[in-house]
Chain A
Amino acid sequence: MSTPVWVALDVASLPAVGYVARRVGSKLEETRVPLLGVMGAFVFAAQMINFPVGAGTSGHLVGGALLSIALGPKAAIVVMTAILFVQALVFQDGGILALGANIMNMAVAGVLAGWLPYQLWGGGRFRSAAIVAAGTLSVLVSASLAVSELLVSGVSMSSSVLGLSFALFLVSALIEGFITLAVVKGIESINPSWIQKPATAAPAVRALTASSVVLAGVGVLFASGAPDGLEHLSEAIGIAGRQYTLLPTPLADYELEGVSSEWLRRAAAGLIGLALMFGLCRLLAKGIVNRRS
């Protein structure tokens, strides 16, 4: 990864996790503090258990979706961060420079992606499918983010390499989905109260999320399978000529004026973009909550 990318992710992930940890810490009853630590140790140990998946290969649990289903998303983010921290610090696994990127991809995005399908459909008829989708999405989102960070870093990959790696990600993501389902079923047969019940969401929110997930999936398929096709499509619709003028901001081309160092400029631009996105999402979420209540 190039310097601006990992610096930006390190700088962004620390406050994000700090915020979540403080939220968890202020609300949490004390019982849960040792529970979160022990659950982190559990994920470490569970990763040593092999699941045969046919054709002589085996997979293992990654755990982001399972943790968010069992403990809730905020606690799961804290536990996954602790796991990545111990891996990087004590076992030299993953590397310290990439820690911020790993936390963003796996602990924050992976856990949230695993929580969303379960939260929306985990209570209804499609409960099993929702759990499989949770595990699948969690791994798929983490992997896609890692690849896009590489791409942003300036590593050029041909569309065949991209397609192949996406297919591999999809297979391992599906494996995670089915492992998560089997383990959740197993835990529920021992003690159902250990798995959090999803809150009931309004049908409109469900439909909105479903359509956005489908749209995103179609977009990813388009982009990975036929990068030229996407360009072709945009040309056909006529947005190709306009896409550069859509954002005539200081962030255009991800660069800021007035800062001397090249990478510092790009990192700062990335961070400001991230902050803007975050603010936008908060506003949207507030709007939705206000309308519902």
Chain B
Amino acid sequence: MHHTTIDRWSRGRSAIHRLDARAKILSLLIVLIAVGTAPTAGIWRTGAGFGALAVASAGLARLPVLGVFTRSLAVLPFSLTFAVIVYLTGDAVRAFALLIKSYISASFVLLLVGTTPLPHLMRGFERLGFPAMLVLVIQYLYRYLFVISTEAQRMRTAAISRGLQRAGFQVAAGAVATLFARSYHRAEGIHRAMVARGFERHIPILAAERLTPADGLLVLLTLSIAVIIRIGAVR
């Protein structure tokens, strides 16, 4: 499944993996701003420049380059809809720019998520000023996402094995309500277990959170490369 691959990637070992999450988030932000605000004119060169940067970063992080680029395709169903609307209004270049921008930004997001384990990533967001509450909820969501999904799959298997041919509207509503009930019970259990273990409103991680010169170098390097690509694309 998708998530297990990215989880495995994020626990790899490379110079990029060792960097502080905050530096990587800031670098992503720089790239996103540079890509997002790029003018439609010269979008080819902007796209090629940042594409090359993404390939180089993936290589440096020892991630499968092809894997990063095929997985980034997942953004296309969403942006393709908008691109088609823009294309139909007769602005083909703008539609193309929209696709390029969303694809490039998706691959850089994947590079961040693929080189930083989620607990470290969320801690980085928190240290950068994200509301602690939201960070916690996101972590619980991700932790129980596959647990609850598996629960839903099990309910489905059970219903089919009892002879359900095709679920009607009411049956589907009942299934969602039951899933809600089970999720609610699970949340109560989780909370009791957390209290028993002395939970203190944030999930601790076992890593040093110190910024090193390498982190500063990453941000500086990203900033200068982004500026160079943007200047080069205009001419």
Given A44-B149, A157-B89, A183-B177: A21 in contact with B134 (beta carbons within 8 A): yes
Partner of B175, one of A3, A35, A49, A97: A49
Q: Given the complex of chains A and B, what is the CA–CA distance between A62 and B180 in angstroms?
A: 14
Interface residues on B, range: 35 or more
A 144-169 to B, binary, CB cutoff 8 A, 1 in contact else 0: 00000010000111000100000000
Chain A residues whose CB sits within 8 angstroms of the CB of B173 once the complex forms: 51, 179, 182-183, 185-186
Which B residues are CB-close (under 8 A) to A18? 130-131, 134
Size bracket, chain A contacts: 35 or more
Q: Does A6 contact B (CB under 8 A)?
A: yes
Using A34-B190, A96-B32, A150-B82 as known contacts, say yes or no to A42 and B179 having CB atoms under 8 A apart.
yes
Which of B113, B179, B199 is A90 in contact with, Cβ under 8 Å?
B113
In the assembled complex, the CB of B187 is this many whole angstroms from the nearest CB of chain A, namely 4
Cβ of A293 under 8 Å from chain B: no
A178 CA / B78 CA spacing, docked (Å): 26
Q: Distance (Å) between the CB of A240 and the closest chain B CB? A: 26
Majority-rule SS of B interface residues: helix
| Chain B residues, Cβ within 8 Å of A97 | 32, 35-36, 101-102, 105
Secondary structure dominating the interface of A: helix
Question: Is B134 touching A17 in the complex (CB atoms < 8 A)?
Answer: yes
A52 partner, pick from B36, B79, B166, beta carbons under 8 A:
B166
Q: Which of B27-61 contact A (CB under 8 A)?
A: 32, 35-37
Interface residues of A (CB under 8 A from B): 1, 3, 6-7, 17-18, 21-22, 24-25, 28, 30-31, 33-42, 44-46, 48-53, 61, 70, 78-79, 81-83, 85-86, 88-98, 150, 155-157, 161, 178-179, 182-183, 185-187, 189-191, 194, 263
- List 6 A–B pairs whose Cβ atoms lie within 8 Å, in order of A's numbering: A35-B184, A82-B137, A90-B142, A97-B36, A187-B177, A189-B177
